[in-house]
Amino acid sequence: MSALTTIGLPVALGIIMFGLGLSLTLGDFARVLKQPKAVIVALLCQLVLLPAVCFGLVLAFQLPPILAVGMMMLAASPGGTTANLYSHLFRGDVALNISLTAVNSVIAVVTLPLITNLAILYFNPFDDQLGLQWSKTLEVFAIVLLPVALGMLVRRFWPAFAKAMDKPVRIASVIILVVVIGGAVASNWTLLVENFAALALITIVFCLISLGVGYTVPRLLRVGRRQAIASSFEIGIHNATLAIVIAQTVLGSVELSLPAAVYGVLMFFIAFGFGFLIRERTDAADGSAGGGADETDAAEAASR
């Protein structure tokens, strides 16, 4: 495995998670208590419903065991910071996105290894590997949580520095990520092309279902529209980079990372189209209700 993969990918993800930490405070976790209904519904969709849906899709599409585990790992990955941008563009509750990302990043330390291990036990893709043992679970903890915690500490004790570094770190993380993933894709181009056809349809379907569940389920449970939009992007835009890093550096399998790699490319376009779809529905609802929908959202927020 190349140094670009073993060193570059974890460094890129570390910078991204550090940047996330620079944007978080303990207040973002506390804010969860102010709108518990929206948070609980979104987390149940993310942690329970989506893995179940993904498992059904994997069986329906009859994926090879290694790709099936890769899909389950993707389903178990939390939302990424990109969800915040999409939520902002399409009038979602960005504060809720930030809170969900923070909580999800912590919970994923437990749920991601758990779901991955269960998938490995069920599909049995490895002959000589049992999956994420305790030592590897600690690696996931270090990869996910430590950079976030470090970023939060920097913001807590050096807020001016954190504010000044926020934008440069975001830009740097995008540049490094593009370079590293581009290099990883180029070095594994043949493998990716061979599996793209098998993975394109299932990743598109999974992304659409994730976005749809994230918006529809909260609305059916009378969660406010802006919160439902935030939930949709948080659930629909998974942290594919995290899944790639764990697959390639923790479990040492490029094939295991292929579903996340394909998904990571396609999700941006799918999420953008979905955003315009729900925005048009939202605008139509506002026009027909004469602003009543906003009043309903406000009433729901007050009731929470």
pLDDT in tens, 96-135: 887 787 788 778 888 888 898 889 889 987 754 445 555 6
pLDDT of residue 71: 95
Report for 152-161, 213-222, 234-243: range of highest mean pLDDT:
213-222
The answer on pLDDT for 286 being more than 50 is yes
pLDDT of residue 204: 93
In the chain, at which residue ranges do the beta strands (DSSP E only) sit? Answer: none
pLDDT in tens, 55-90: 999 999 999 999 999 999 999 988 766 787 788 788
The answer on pLDDT for 7 being more than 70 is no
- Of 297 and 25, the structure prediction assigns the larger pLDDT to 25
pLDDT of residue 99: 79
Q: Which of 262, 267, 269, 71 is nearest to 184 (CA)?
A: 262
- Of 55 and 6, the structure prediction assigns the larger pLDDT to 55
Cα separation values, 93 from 4, 59, 215, 301, Å: 37, 35, 12, 11
CA 241 to chain centre: 9
pLDDT of residue 79: 78
CA 152 to chain centre: 20
pLDDT of residue 2: 53
Write down the mean pLDDT value for the chain. Answer: 78
- pLDDT-derived band of residue 50, with 50, 70 and 90 as boundaries? very high
- pLDDT-derived band of residue 303, with 50, 70 and 90 as boundaries? very low
pLDDT of residue 290: 45
Q: Which domains does the chain carry?
A: 3-303 (1.20.1530.20)
pLDDT in tens, 168-194: 877 776 676 667 666 666 766 777 777
Q: For residues 36-40, give the mean pLDDT.
A: 88
Q: For residues 231-253, give the mean pLDDT.
A: 84
Integer Cα distance of 42 and 57 in angstroms? 21
| Residue whose structure tokens are 């990520």 | 177
Q: Which two tokens stand for residue 272?
A: 């953008």
Integer Cα distance of 258 and 293 in angstroms? 42
